[in-house]
Amino acid sequence: MAHFRFRDEGIEVCRLTVSPDGEKKQREVLGLIGSPDFTVTDALRSNCSPEELSEIEHRLSLLKQTEMLQAELAARTLPDQIQSAYVWLSSSERQGELAHLADDIRANWQRLRRTLDQRKLI
């Protein structure tokens, strides 16, 4: 049975084996799945059994579904979040923090606006 370990550079796929006497557990790294595309590399494929590959593909499918649900939730709650941000930004006195936040907001707003424009939603 394979298990995932989430790392900064991606998802590490490991196999846990137990010695015949049941005393010692050993973790073997099978490969790394890079994010954000979550594709199984040829190197990882060659290190896995068909059952492990099936399990990995299933878990990756669930992970992608979860990410899409999180993205949908973010989009659906964005108008409320923008309103809350407006209230906080208009009353906050932390000028240095606001300048940094403004840069992040502007960059992400431009990406979102481009997408809305490309999809002819604005």
What's the one-letter identity of residue 40? V
Whole-number percent of the chain with pLDDT over 90: 53
Looking at residue 10, what is its pLDDT?
85
Q: Are residues 57 and 9 in the same domain?
A: yes
CA distance 33 to 90: 43
Provide the domain limits for residue 112. Answer: 92-118
Q: Are residues 11 and 45 in the same domain?
A: yes
Number of domains comprising the chain: 2
pLDDT for position 3? 83
Answer yes or no: do 61 and 111 share one domain: no
- Count Cβ neighbours within 10 Å for each residue of 34-72 and write b for 16 or more, e otherwise: eeeebeeeeebeebbeeebbebbeebbeebeeeeeeeee
State the average pLDDT for the chain: 90
pTM comes to: 0.72
Tell me if 84 is assigned to some domain.
Answer: no
**pLDDT, tens digit, 9 for 90 and up, residues 19-69:** 788 777 888 899 989 877 788 888 899 999 999 999 999 999 999 999 999
